[in-house]
Structures are given as C-alpha cells and as structure tokens.
C-alpha cells in the first residue's frame, strides 16, 4: 500500500460539516467560517530527518523548508498565509544550538511572507528530528482554484524549471505566493497544484480529481540545469526529462487555463515576472490517462512521481 492508497482508506469516512467547502484531496482544506468575502485555508505538513533533509544541511535551511513547503500549498490555492503553529520532535541527545538555528530559519521565512508564528509543541522523538507545521491562510471567494476544475481543451502551464532539486534547491525554493495571487486575479484558473512529488505524479492528481486526461509535449517541459548536470554524472542513469517528470520537491505551480487565454497569460506573465520562467507544456484531453508526445510519436507515460512507502524511492 502506497501513500495515496493509504490516504484514500483513512479519509473515506471522516466526519465533516457545513463549513467545509473543500476537504481532503486538495492542497489545503477550504472552510467557510462566515467571513464576508474570503474563505479560510487550513494546511498541515511535516518534514522528517532522513526523508526530507539530512542533518548535514544548514539548520536554517531545514527550518526554512519546513514552513515554505506549507506556503507552497497555500500558493496552490491562490491564498495568503496568516498564522502558523510549529510542532518539533527531537531525540533526547538533541543539540540546542542546532534547534535554535532551525527556528531562526522558520522565523526568516515567516517574516518574509508576513506569517505570525503563534505557538506549537515540543516532544521527544527517538533517533531523528521531525517538524510539523499547521498553517492558516485566506483566499478570496470565487478565486480559489482546486484540483478538480480542469477541462478538456485547457492549456497546461508550469512555472520555473524542473528536476534535480536534491542538489540544493529543495532547501531554498521560493513559494509562488505572489505569482499565484496574480494568476487568480487576472485569469480564470481552472485547476492548480504545487509540484512537491514530481510533475508526472502531481498532474495525475489533477487528472483524477477532474476526471480528464492530458498530453504533455516532451520538448516543452522545462528541465533545470541541475537535472542536466545530474544526468551527466557517471553514477546517474536518469535522463534529464525523466528527472524533470519524477524528481519532485520543485515547489513550482502547475495549472490549467482555457486555451484561448494562453497567449495573453504568457504576455502578461513576461511583463509581471520577467525572472520567473513560465512554460505551456501540454493540453487537457477528454480521454483519461497521461500521454507524452515526443519526436517518435505519442505514448502512455508510465513514469510517476515520489510516493511515500515506495521502497525504490527516497528523498534526502
């Protein structure tokens, strides 16, 4: 049983109430608590030593990543983060200075994005460090994209370059909060998700939720320099395109819009965000499934992204 099969079983019969606009199955829970023009966003995420980071990393970067991951999920809903709670589990022989530096990194990213850290919890955890974040935010009603709104004919876009994140970028990425707010304010975004588990895996979440398929254009997928350098190493057998599709932890935005908006979106983006790449990488189709168009033709894309509990994959 992999991560997503387990989640499906655990959440199948969870209780809910009338305040829940969007519950399990998206980047954040969306709640209507009576605010006149905004929904509440609620998100939790965790990073674990040996899975999401190594203790050889700078502790400030570990703290930065722990909160920035949640901020990236708020961005996927075109929201604004507001308040966070921090839970940290530590082995009994923890280094107090190391932990203080983790919190320094947490404070750095919180201050940058105007997030108030309002408390949390500390606990003992044998052998390794874990950090869990609970994050609140808000989003304008009518401007909150979900995974379930993709439509046949939509153009598929992705920000930034993909793959090779373990070379260091997974500890220093910029959550696309400003970009997402601009997108939702200027265009009708049919669906959106942040890329934490890899393009091939995260796009499938949109396809499943929207009950559609997709065709990606291999030549259009933006591959990072790190992924290209990684493929040249003698110890690596992963081609750059496969790295861009499956490596994960890119924390870029993947979204779909009406194809007729594609040119205006690209033109507006270049003026607004000249330093952030935006690529149209394919289209949404009616027939379920994920296909890849290459010079040799169109084929089913079997590659998948990162999945917890898969013994063949491990994030460090």
Does one domain contain both 246 and 191? yes
One domain, residues 162 and 90: no
Q: How far is CA 273 from the centre of its chain?
A: 19
286 within a domain of the structure (yes/no): yes
| Through-space distance between the first and last CA atoms of the chain, rounded to whole angstroms | 22
Q: How far apart are CA 71 and CA 73, in angstroms?
A: 5
127 and 183, same structural domain?
no
Measured from the Cβ of residue 255, the count of other Cβ atoms closer than 10 Å reads 27
Per-residue pLDDT band for 6 (boundaries 50, 70, 90) equals confident
Looking at residue 100, its pLDDT comes to 98
What's the pLDDT at 314? 38
78 within a domain of the structure (yes/no): yes
Q: What is the pLDDT of residue 308?
A: 56
Q: Does 194 lie in the same domain as 125?
A: no
Is the separation of the CB atoms in 194 and 72 below 8 Å? yes
DSSP SS3 for 1: coil
User: SS3 of 240, please?
Assistant: helix
Say whether both 123 and 53 belong to one domain: yes
Residue 71 has pLDDT above 70, yes or no: yes
Q: Does any domain span residue 186?
A: yes
Same domain, 50 and 185: no
Query: Does the residue 307 lie in any domain?
Result: no
Give yes or no: residues 290 and 168 share one domain.
yes
Verify that 160 and 229 share a domain, yes or no. Answer: yes
Residue 128 within any structural domain of the chain: yes
Q: What is the pLDDT of residues 211-246, one digit of tens each?
A: 999 999 999 999 999 999 887 764 556 899 999 999
CA 231 to CA 6: how far, in whole Å?
33
What pLDDT digit, counting tens, does each position of 133-192 carry?
999 999 999 999 999 999 999 999 999 999 999 899 999 999 999 999 999 999 999 999
For residue 74, is it within any domain? yes
Residue 305 has a pLDDT of: 65
Q: Return d(Cα 193, Cα 217) in angstroms, integer.
A: 19
Judgement on whether residues 129 and 171 belong to the same structural domain of the protein: no
Q: Note whether 165 and 111 are same-domain residues.
A: no
**Domain match, 159 and 271 both:** yes
User: What does the alpha-carbon distance between residue 116 and residue 234 come to, in Å, rounded to a whole number?
Assistant: 46
Task: Spell 7-42 as b/e; 16+ CB within 10 A means b.
Answer: eeeeeeeeeeeeeebbeeebbbbbbeeeeeebbbbb
Q: Is residue 187 part of a domain?
A: yes
Tell me, yes or no, whether 234 and 114 share the same domain. Answer: no
* CATH number (domain holding residue 123): 3.30.1330.10
Backbone torsions φ then ψ of 226, nearest 5 degrees: -65, -40
Q: Is the pLDDT of residue 130 over 80?
A: yes
Q: Report the CATH number that the domain containing residue 249 is assigned in CATH.
A: 3.90.650.10
Among 237-246, 254-263, 277-286, name the one with the lowest average pLDDT. 237-246
Q: What is the pLDDT of residue 311?
A: 45
The number of folded domains in the chain is: 2
CB 191 within 8 A of CB 269: no
Q: From residue 50, how far is each of 12, 56, 252 by CA, in Å?
A: 30, 10, 23
Assigned domain for 311 exists: no
Domain that holds residue 205: 155-300
């Amino acid at each position: 049983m992999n991560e997503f099969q387990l989640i499906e079983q655990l959440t199948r019969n969870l209780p809910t109430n009338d305040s829940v606009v969007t519950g399990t199955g998206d980047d954040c829970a969306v709640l209507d608590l009576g605010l006149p023009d905004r929904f509440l966003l609620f998100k939790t995420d965790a990073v674990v030593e040996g899975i999401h980071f190594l203790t050889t990393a700078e502790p400030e970067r570990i703290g930065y990543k722990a909160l920035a991951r949640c901020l990236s999920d708020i961005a996927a809903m075109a929201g604004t983060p507001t308040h966070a709670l921090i839970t940290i589990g530590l082995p009994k022989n923890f280094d107090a200075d190391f932990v203080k530096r983790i919190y320094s990194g947490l404070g750095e990213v919180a201050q940058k994005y105007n997030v108030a850290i309002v408390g949390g919890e500390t606990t003992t955890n044998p052998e390794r460090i874990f950090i869990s974040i609970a994050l609140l935010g808000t989003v304008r009603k009518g401007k909150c994209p979900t995974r379930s709104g993709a439509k046949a004919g939509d153009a598929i876009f992705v920000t930034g370059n993909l793959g090779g994140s373990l070379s260091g970028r997974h500890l220093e990425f910029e959550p696309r909060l400003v970009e997402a707010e601009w997108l939702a304010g200027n265009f009708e975004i049919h669906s959106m998700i942040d890329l934490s588990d890899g393009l091939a895996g995260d796009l499938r979440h949109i396809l499943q939720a929207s009950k559609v398929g997709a065709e990606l254009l291999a030549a259009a997928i933006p591959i990072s320099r790190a992924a290209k350098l990684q493929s040249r190493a003698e110890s690596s057998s992963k081609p750059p395109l496969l790295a861009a599709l499956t490596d994960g932890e890119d924390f870029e935005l993947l979204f779909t819009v009406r194809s007729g908006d594609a040119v205006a979106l690209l033109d507006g983006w270049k003026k607004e965000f000249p330093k952030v790449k935006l690529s149209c990488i394919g289209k949404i189709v009616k027939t379920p499934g994920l296909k890849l168009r290459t010079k040799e033709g169109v084929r089913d894309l079997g590659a998948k992204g990162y999945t917890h509990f898969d013994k063949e994959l491990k994030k460090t």
